[in-house]
Amino acid sequence: MREKLVQIAIAIAGAALVVLLASVMLLMDGEFPGARAEANAVTFPPIEELEHYTTVERGVSAEHMMTSPEALAALKAGSPVPVGTHMVLVDYRNGKVFRYFVSQKVGEGADEWAFQWFHPDRSIKADENTARCYSCHRSRQDSQFMFTLPEAQAFGS
């Protein structure tokens, strides 16, 4: 009888631990105040090696979209872009770089993208909440997290 009680107690403690771990993981995955951008997996892109495949004009802003020739070939073929690929939105205001928005493929999975905001001097905007970038772009998971996939596929053809 005593042994049975101990077994039950252990089972309950185990279940509680699982629930606790699951909630911590959920919390860490979600957006919560204070989750601010710092250095993450995203590196500054090799801009000179990238193709400028389309431009989006937004008022005073001209957004030059850029990625690698390898990524453009993969996008055209409908294949996942290589791990490490940078997607870059260079935001020009009055002909000068105002900021760089960068997403980078950080793993094989369709949802393995990371985001970062860089100033013109290539430093990171430390108070940016990059979880917001991710959550908006996640709506495009079927399009490799891209809003300008059709433009990238049409480029050069």
Q: How far is the CB of 157 from ligand HEC (least distance, A)?
A: 18
Q: For ligand HEC, which is the closer residue by CB, 23 or 141?
A: 141
Q: List all residues 6 or more positions away from 45 whose beta carbon is below 8 Å from its beta carbon.
A: 66, 86, 88, 100, 102, 104
Q: For ligand HEC, which is the closer residue by CB, 7 or 31?
A: 31
CA-atom Rg of the chain in angstroms = 21
What's the rounded Cα separation, in Å, for the pair 78 and 92?
A: 30
Q: Are 65 and 89 in contact (CB under 8 A)?
A: yes
Q: How far is the CB of 95 from ligand HEC (least distance, A)?
A: 18
Q: How far is the CB of 56 from ligand HEC (least distance, A)?
A: 4
User: What is the Cβ-side half-sphere exposure of residue 84, based on CA atoms within 13 angstroms?
Assistant: 4
Q: For ligand HEC, which is the closer residue by CB, 7 or 132?
A: 132
Q: For ligand HEC, which is the closer residue by CB, 79 or 139?
A: 139
Which residues contact ligand HEC (rule: CB under 6 A)? 56, 58, 63, 65, 87-89, 101-103, 115-117, 128, 130, 132-133, 136-137, 146-148
Q: How far is the CB of 78 from ligand HEC (least distance, A)?
A: 16
What's the rounded Cα separation, in Å, for the pair 122 and 68?
A: 19
